[in-house]
Amino acid sequence: MKVFIEKIDTYDFEKIFNFLKSLTSLWQKLDGKQKILLKPNLLSAFSPEKAVTTHPMVLDVLITILKEKNKTIMIGDSPGGTTPVKKVWQETGMKELAEKHHIKLINFSKGGVVSKKAKTIEFNTSKYFWEADAVINVSKYKTHSLVSYTGAVKNLYGLIPGLKKSDFHRDYPDHIKFSKVLTELYSIAREKVTFNIMDGIVGMEGDGPSAGEPRNFGIIFAGESASAIDYIASRMMGFNPEKNQYITACLDLDNIKPDEIEIPTAWENFVFKKVKIKKVKTLVKILAYSPNFLQNAFRGLFRYYPDFNDKCELCNVCVESCPVQVIEIKEGDKTPTIDYKNCIKCMCCHELCPYQAVYIKKSFLAKFVIR
């Protein structure tokens, strides 16, 4: 299984075009398919410079190539939380792109769902995803505070409409349980994804997926298998992909052994220097595997929780997005208040705050465990 990798330092149309155009084996997969859905990462209303969402230039190039092939093109996603979708289209550059190319923007939260049962979980997924003749998954290369790394596989989480996504965070709160959700979703969605492109020209490190710092990784990935891309790309960030439950499980679903993934020789042993990684997962992992009495002891010693900084604009997005409704804004307060006793630490508030006003606060001892 091939993963194509190219060094591209800036959002230069021509360089991206030349790389994507050269992927003939991937383009051949679109032969005979007319209605093409592009599924970028449009997590919320962030401008492209924040590196939270797929950069519009990557989509611009893709659309240009698809138009040469006379395809009918749509861009679709279901952003998280309650930010109006129109604001997401506007901020992320999608509105401008759609107007330029006269293509349709699809809100996955509208237009109906198709219910699909995976091994243990039943998913309602956007009808548009299943109605397309082919889907190109166009993800963003980032760290993630719950599952460490987010890329091609995790991008498919956007197939679940609206706040339904928060319900899964509530019901599957730690990284092991949430990895199971991602794996089961991948088991039903993978057949529909024709190929994958991941934008790592400017990705994110640190407090990802939305409150981290942009990092110019200067790289773009492509391939048939989302899990193979994630295996290689997470390793390049300095993670051990063998220890990432959802990546290894999805690789199994794709029936790929790690040593069967082919990448260009120049990248074989490449690892980015000093990628800033929030290792919340270390703590969550300890908790998830420990017996109950130890879990309680650890929880007392190693506490981490979302808190607010002075960037808060009292926009109410976190209040409306919290799957267990434990955030409120009290009259006269400058930031919201969380009922920590009932907070399930899903980090939806952290993920969806449009102003990066939610950060992860750690107890004194947790600082030694969580980098």
359 binds ligand SF4 (CB under 6 A): no
- Comparing CB distances to ligand SF4, the nearer of 45 and 228 is 45
> Which of 151, 161, 212, 336 lies at the binding interface for ligand SF4 (CB under 6 A)?
336
Alpha-carbon gap, residue 228 to 48, rounded angstroms: 26
Return the residue matching tokens 């030694």: 368
CB 52 to ligand SF4: min, Å: 14
Q: Is 3 in the site for ligand SF4 (CB under 6 A)?
A: no
Q: Are 137 and 226 in contact (CB under 8 A)?
A: yes
DSSP 168-201: HHHHS-SHHHHHHHHHHHHHHHGGGEEEEEEEEE
- For the window 60-89, what string marks contact with ligand SF4 as x by the rule CB under 6 A? ------------------------------
For the record, the structure tokens of 212 come out as 């981290």
Q: What are phi and psi of 321, to 5 degrees?
A: -90, -15
Round to whole Å and give the CA distance between 267 and 259: 14
DSSP 8-state assignment for residue 132: S
148 secondary structure, DSSP code: E
C-alpha count within 13 angstroms, C-beta hemisphere, residue 38 = 31
Contact characters 311-330, ligand SF4, x per CB under 6 A: -xxxxxxx---x-x-xx---
Quick one: which of 288, 343, 365, 369 contacts ligand SF4 (CB under 6 A)?
Answer: 343
Minimum Å distance from CB 128 to ligand SF4?
27
Give the number of residues in contact with ligand SF4, rule: CB under 6 A.
Answer: 26
Distance in Å, CB of 42 to ligand SF4, minimum: 17
Residue from 1, 261, 338, 366 binding ligand SF4 (CB under 6 A): 338
91: nearest Cα among 83, 81, 101, 80: 83
Q: What CA–CA distances, in Å, run from 189 to 24, 108, 169, 192, 261?
A: 23, 15, 19, 6, 21
Choose among 137, 79, 86, 88: nearest CA to 109. Answer: 79
**Residue span 274-313 as binding mask against ligand SF4, x where in contact by CB under 6 A, dash where not:** --------------------------------x-x---xx
- Please give the structure tokens belonging to residue 228: 């193979």
Task: Write down the least CB distance from residue 172 to ligand SF4, Å.
Answer: 12
Of 7-15, 144-152, 218-226, 352-360: span binding ligand SF4 (CB under 6 A): 352-360
The verdict on 146 binding ligand SF4 (CB under 6 A) reads no
Does residue 52 bind ligand SF4 (CB under 6 A)? Answer: no
State yes or no: residue 147 binds ligand SF4 (CB under 6 A). no
Closest CA to 200 of 1, 3, 10, 2: 10
Is 61 or 352 the residue whose CB approaches ligand SF4 more closely? 352
Residue 176 in the binding site for ligand SF4 (CB under 6 A): no
Q: Which stretch binds ligand SF4 (CB under 6 A): 53-61, 130-138, 234-242, 355-363?
A: 355-363
- Burial of 82-94, coded b for 16+ CB within 10 Å and e otherwise, reads bbebeebbebbbb
Of 280, 347, 360, 366, the residue at the interface with ligand SF4 (CB under 6 A) is 347
Question: Residue 62 and residue 16: Cα distance in Å, rounded?
Answer: 9
Residue 317's region, left for phi above 0, alpha for psi from -120 to 50, else beta, is: alpha
Select from 1-9, 19-27, 61-69, 354-362 the region that touches ligand SF4 (CB under 6 A). 354-362
> What part of residues 223-262 is at the interface with ligand SF4 (CB under 6 A)?
none
Helix, strand or coil, per DSSP, at residue 114: strand
Q: Is 122 in the site for ligand SF4 (CB under 6 A)?
A: no
- Which residues make Cβ contacts (< 8 Å) with residue 322, sequence separation at least 6? 166, 348, 349
Choose one: 13-21, 157-165, 253-261, 342-350; the region binding ligand SF4 (CB under 6 A). 342-350
Summarize as ranges the residues that interact with ligand SF4 (CB under 6 A).
306, 308, 312-318, 322, 324, 326-327, 336, 338, 343-349, 353, 355, 357-358
